[in-house]
């Protein structure tokens, strides 16, 4: 079932094809990469559950997101990438479809689903627009899911409904100009007032996705990790809102290699005073929040890799059949076959690893660190390699942004850095393996 | 006003269909199936009627094998209140073995049992493309019909509709007393996505299952499919230099002008 669906699926199309390049494009490229059908319409859901879609609802979710992506996400990706702009409209649509609160309880405006569902959304969005997906991830996983898991009822009722709806755009601030992988090396501090009723936050956070959406002001609301005690692990988490005195946009980060339609910013905290009600979880207790949320962050970043890989393989497969050289389709050449076959096998391996881990990931606890790191380690490099092969198979067309692969290729690289570098995964995994494992499953 | 919507499971509109090796029909194995696009329009219109409170209840009905349940789930996720699954034999192809006459007969039974005021159907299903089920159902029920609807306005809930319908030369506006059968055209509306919260809510909605063979309707097909073949491959066209050359070719080669 699964395999046949893959093989009958045509790749999504590059839109906005400029006249000049289109003239150069032979028919085969055009046919190979064109949208499934002109004026594609919304498609309804069908089909039963399978390994990648643990229940019928997961299957329906996947098909809903896929058809939304074909109709509304794919057509805008190239333009927003070129302009390095965030598409607020598309983001709002994610809210209307109930995707922003995918893991949040219905009482707070969410859809009450699980880690597998989160992976499905990330995989499908990334197959067309990893940058939009990264903004989605920062909002829905790093802020929304984080607060759902770690916040109080009051905090959830106050911040989640608007975030699930999409009327606020949120993010999470962990990394700093001087501390990334070494997260506990952070220096942003929150000092309690003498009466203990408030905290004053000072410092700067770097690389914050959704840190701004317009390039001029900060994003709407953030979870901010800050040092609250002398111990290395004395970290607490706070909610900081746009407009609070002292909370400023440091800079919008321009010229990123990829993920250009996702806004990244430096945020500055200059004596930002927040009440105790803004403290999420216990004082000095944010390590737990961080650990809980890092697992789903890594798994969904892995899912983004799987989405990128799928799209690239679809493009390679179609193009390989239709493009002729020396009188034969290029997929009759051994080297091209290796690109396509290796990619497919690695994609399937990664995808199975991903959904196996997601199925067992309990969002409210920790304990899947080894495999959360492992899936991200595997699927992100896999995506980068697959995108690279796709570019090779498409030749000159692959190298130009109208044909999508070029963008996916650049976007894939981020996955090896954000949410934990490959080296961080190596370090964590060997620590966990050495500590807990003698014989492997 | 109680509204019933027919939703059919068909080969997805984007699938490039292939013919079975034995030429008995198009290949249905391992092919993506979806709700018939025109049924989506009908479903969307019903949900809108519910939202404007013109409809009190929306019932989705699908006639088909076990898998038609998926299509009903989609209808429920789009906003139907409950479903009725008229189960057919898995061996019967709903694209050609179950004809409009039988489908209309089955729908009539459901309409009568459910006490429906308005039946919304697609103008046709994209597999058989017969466009007969709606008119036949209206005929059997003795109800008015408005086919190819492009716009439906409720004049008085439960009593009177105004339906603008597509014709070859433009649109025609009909005043339709209820109960009635209306079939949807593409322009009627833009079907919504089943949102994630609604997908989750649909899980709790009920689907009654009836067995087609037990409903006292003659399901035997009146036609026999002898052979299904793909259309001939289109020959490449020629570019003509002038209108005169075009007229000449239409006369001498195409033979469509005297
Ligand atoms: C587009 C983008 C979006 C981002 N979004 C967010 C966000 O929303 N919120 C947020 O908090 N952060 C965000 N980040 C930050 C991201 O998580 C960090 O970039 C990442 O954790 C790496 O930190 P660093 O950049 O400071 O690199 P460093 O930690 O300085 O690493 C530099 C190099 O040294 C290696 N290294 C470091 N320590 C070790 C070690 N012990 N052993 C071996 N090698 C080591 C690293 O692997 C890397 O190769 C984002 C980054 C990018 C690029």
Per-residue pLDDT reduced to its tens digit, B202-219: 999 999 999 999 999 999
Q: What is the dihedral of CA A383, A386, A392, A398, to 10 degrees?
A: -50
* Cα(B21)–Cα(A108) distance, integer angstroms: 54
Q: How far apart are CA B234 and CA A261, in angstroms?
A: 43
DSSP secondary structure letters along A134-173: HHHHIIIIIIIIHHHHHS-HHHHHHHHHHHHHTSS-EEEE
Q: Which member of B14, B31, B198 has the closest CB to residue A36?
A: B14
Give the Å distance between the CA of A235 and the centre of ligand 1: 18
DSSP A53: B
The contacts of residue A52 (CB under 8 Å, 6+ apart) are A2, A62, A120, A351, A355
Q: Directed axis angle between helix A130-137 and helix A405-414, to 10°?
A: 30
- pLDDT (0 to 100) of residue A47: 52
| A168 CA from centroid of ligand 1 (Å) | 26
Which residue's structure tokens are 């989160």?
Answer: A118
Could you give the angle at the alpha carbon of B204 between the alpha carbons of B198 and B207, nearest 5°? 105
Hey, which of A143, A145, A172, A207 would you mutate to test ligand 1's pocket, going by the most ligand atoms within 8 Å of its Cβ? A207
The confidence score (pLDDT) of residue B235 equals 83
CA distance A44 to chain B (A): 6
Residue B231 reports pLDDT greater than 80: yes
The answer to whether residues B157 and B54 touch, using CB atoms and an 8 Å cutoff, is yes
The residue among A134, A269, A292 whose CA lies nearest residue A209 is: A134
Q: What is the mean pLDDT of residues B114-130?
A: 96
Is the CB of residue A162 less than 8 Å from the CB of residue A150? Answer: no
Class of the CATH-defined domain A170-284 = mainly beta
For residue B255, pLDDT over 90 is answered with: no
Of the pLDDT bands very low, low, confident and very high (cuts 50, 70, 90), residue B51 is very high
Contacts of A57 in chain B (CB under 8 A): 199-200, 203
Q: Kindly give the parts of chain A with pLDDT less than 70.
A: 1-49
Q: Which of A170, A255, A421 to mutate to test the pocket of ligand 1 (most atoms within 8 A of CB)?
A: A421
Cα A407 to Cα A12: distance, rounded to the nearest angstrom: 14
Structure letter (DSSP) for residue A261: T
Dihedral angle over CA of A97, A99, A103, A108, nearest 10? -50
pLDDT for the residue B233: 87
Output the pLDDT for position B135: 98
- pLDDT of A411 reads 98
Let me know: does B42 contact B107? Beta carbons within 8 Å.
no
Helices (H), chain B: 37-51, 68-78, 100-114, 133-141, 196-202, 243-252
Structure token digits, residue A389: 């092969």
Pairing between strand A198-209 and B145-156?
unpaired
Other beta carbons less than 10 A from residue A268's beta carbon: 18
Residue with tokens 């179609």: A318
For A6, the 3-state DSSP assignment is helix
| Chain B residues in contact with A44 (beta carbon < 8 A) | 34-35, 40, 71, 74, 78, 191, 194
* Ramachandran region, residue B255 (left: φ > 0; alpha: ψ -120 to 50; beta: rest): left
**Domain A293-436 falls in which CATH fold?**
Butyryl-CoA Dehydrogenase, subunit A; domain 3 (1.20.140)
What architecture is domain A11-165?
Orthogonal Bundle (1.10)
**Maximal C-alpha separation, chain A:** 82
- CB within 6 Å of ligand 1 — which residues? A 138, 142, 171-175, 180-182, 207-209, 256, 259, 264, 414, 417-421, 423-424, 427
Distance from CA of B160 to the nearest CA of A (A): 31
What pLDDT is recorded for position A48?
58
Secondary element (H or E) of residue A298 = helix A286-322
**B109 SS3 class:** helix
| ipTM value greater than 0.95 | no
Query: Per-residue pLDDT tens for A57-85?
Result: 999 999 999 999 999 999 999 999 999 99
Please name the residue that has the structure tokens 């995108």: A387
Catalytic residues of A: 297
CA B36 to chain centre: 6
What are the angstrom distances between the C-alpha of B253 and each of A234, A303, B240, B256? 88, 58, 13, 8
Q: Name the residue ranges covered by the structural domains of chain A.
A: 11-165, 170-284, 293-436
Q: Give, in degrees to the nearest 5, the angle at Cα B153 between B152 and B156.
A: 135
Given this model, what pLDDT does residue B234 score?
A: 84
Which H or E run includes B184?
A: strand B180-184
Residue of B nearest to A68 (CA): B193
- Residue A437's pLDDT is what? 78
Sign of CA pseudo-dihedral A23, A28, A32, A38 = positive
Sign of CA dihedral B84, B86, B90, B95: negative
- Residue B150's alpha-carbon distances to B40, B58, B119, B120, in angstroms, are 14, 20, 16, 13
Among B11, B40, B41, B199, pick the best mutation site for testing chain A contact (most A Cβ within 10 A). B199
| Closest residue in B to A117 (Cα–Cα) | B196
What are φ and ψ of residue A369, in 5° steps? -55, -45
**Residue in B with minimal Cα distance to A60:** B199
pLDDT tops 90 at residue B220:
yes
Query: Angle of helix A286-322 relative to helix A115-126, nearest 10 degrees?
Result: 40
Structure tokens at A402: 């109208």
Tokens of B117: 């005021």
A111 touches chain B (CB under 8 A): yes
When the candidates are 3.30.230.10, 3.40.50.620, 1.10.520.20, 3.50.50.60, the CATH number that belongs to B2-233 is: 3.40.50.620
CA nearest to B60, candidates B119, B115, B104: B119
Q: Which of A11-15, A256-260, B29-33, B92-96 has the lowest mean pLDDT?
A: A11-15
Tally of helices (H runs) and strands (E runs) in chain A:
15, 10
Closest residue by Cα to residue A158 from A247, A241, A271, A267: A241
Question: Burial of B74 by CB count in 10 Å (0-12 exposed, 13-18 middle, 19+ buried)?
Answer: buried
């Amino acid at each position: 079932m699964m395999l046949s669906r893959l093989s009958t699926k045509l790749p999504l199309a590059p839109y906005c094809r400029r006249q000049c390049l289109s003239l150069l494009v032979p028919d085969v490229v055009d046919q190979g990469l064109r949208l499934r059908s002109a004026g594609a319409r919304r498609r309804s859901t069908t089909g039963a559950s399978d390994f990648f879609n643990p229940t019928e609802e997961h299957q329906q979710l996947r098909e809903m997101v896929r058809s939304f992506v074909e109709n509304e996400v794919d057509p805008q990706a190239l333009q927003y990438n070129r302009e390095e702009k965030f598409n607020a409209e598309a983001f709002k649509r994610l809210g209307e479809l109930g995707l922003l609160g995918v893991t949040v309880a219905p009482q707070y405006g969410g859809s009450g689903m699980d880690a597998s569902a989160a992976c499905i959304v990330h995989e499908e969005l990334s197959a067309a627009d990893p940058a939009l997906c990264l903004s989605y991830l920062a909002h829905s996983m790093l802020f929304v899911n984080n607060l759902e898991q770690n916040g109080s009822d009051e905090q959830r009722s106050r911040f989640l409904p608007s975030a699930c709806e999409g009327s606020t755009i949120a993010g999470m601030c962990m990394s700093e100009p001087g501390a990334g992988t070494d997260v506990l090396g952070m220096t942003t501090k929150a000092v309690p007032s003498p009466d203990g009723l408030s905290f004053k936050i000072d410092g700067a956070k770097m690389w914050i996705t959704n840190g701004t959406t317009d390039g001029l002001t900060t994003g709407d609301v953030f979870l901010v990790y800050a040092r609250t005690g002398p111990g290395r692990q004395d970290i607490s988490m706070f909610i900081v809102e746009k407009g609070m005195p002292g909370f400023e946009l440091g800079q919008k980060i321009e010229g990123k290699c990829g993920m250009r339609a996702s806004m990244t910013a430096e945020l500055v905290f200059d004596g930002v005073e927040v009440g105790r009600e803004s403290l999420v979880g216990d004082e000095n207790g944010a390590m737990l929040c961080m650990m809980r949320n890092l697992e789903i962050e890594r798994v969904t970043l892995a899912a983004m890799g799987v989405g990128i890989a799928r799209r690239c393989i679809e493009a390679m497969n179609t193009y390989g059949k239709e493009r002729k050289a020396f009188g034969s389709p290029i997929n009759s050449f051994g080297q091209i076959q290796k690109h396509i076959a290796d990619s497919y096998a690695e994609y399937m391996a990664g995808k199975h690893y991903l959904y196996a881990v997601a199925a067992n990931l309990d969002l409210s606890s920790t304990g899947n660190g080894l495999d959360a790191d492992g899936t991200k380690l595997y699927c992100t490099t896999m995506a980068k390699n697959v995108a690279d092969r796709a570019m090779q198979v498409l030749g000159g067309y692959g190298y130009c942004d109208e044909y999508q692969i070029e963008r996916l290729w650049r976007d894939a690289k981020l996955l090896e850095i954000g949410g934990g570098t490959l080296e961080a995964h190596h370090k964590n995994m060997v620590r966990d393996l050495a500590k807990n494992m003698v014989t492997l499953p | 006003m109680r509204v019933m919507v027919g939703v059919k499971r068909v080969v997805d509109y984007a699938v490039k269909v292939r013919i079975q090796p034995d030429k008995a029909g198009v290949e249905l194995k391992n092919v993506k199936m979806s709700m018939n696009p025109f049924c989506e329009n009908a479903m969307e219109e019903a949900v809108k009627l519910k939202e404007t409170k013109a409809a009190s209840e929306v019932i989705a009905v699908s006639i088909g094998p076990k898998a038609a349940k998926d299509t009903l789930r989609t209808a429920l996720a789009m906003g139907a209140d409950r479903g009725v699954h008229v189960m057919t034999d898995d061996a019967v192809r709903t694209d050609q073995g179950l004809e409009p006459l039988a489908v209309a007969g089955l729908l009539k039974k459901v309409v009568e049992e459910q006490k429906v005021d308005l039946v919304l159907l697609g103008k046709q299903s994209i597999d058989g493309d017969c466009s007969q089920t709606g008119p036949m159902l209206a005929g059997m029920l003795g109800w008015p019909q408005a086919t190819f609807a492009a716009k439906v306005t409720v004049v008085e809930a439960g009593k009177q509709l105004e339906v603008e319908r597509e014709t070859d030369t433009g649109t025609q506006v009909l005043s339709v007393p209820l109960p009635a059968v209306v079939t949807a055209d593409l322009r009627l509306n833009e079907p919504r996505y089943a949102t994630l919260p609604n997908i989750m809510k649909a899980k709790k909605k009920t689907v009654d299952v009836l067995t087609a063979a037990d409903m006292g309707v003659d399901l035997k097909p009146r036609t026999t499919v002898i052979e299904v073949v793909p259309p001939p491959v289109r020959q490449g066209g020629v570019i003509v230099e002038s209108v005169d050359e075009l007229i000449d070719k239409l006369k001498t080669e195409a033979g469509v002008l005297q």
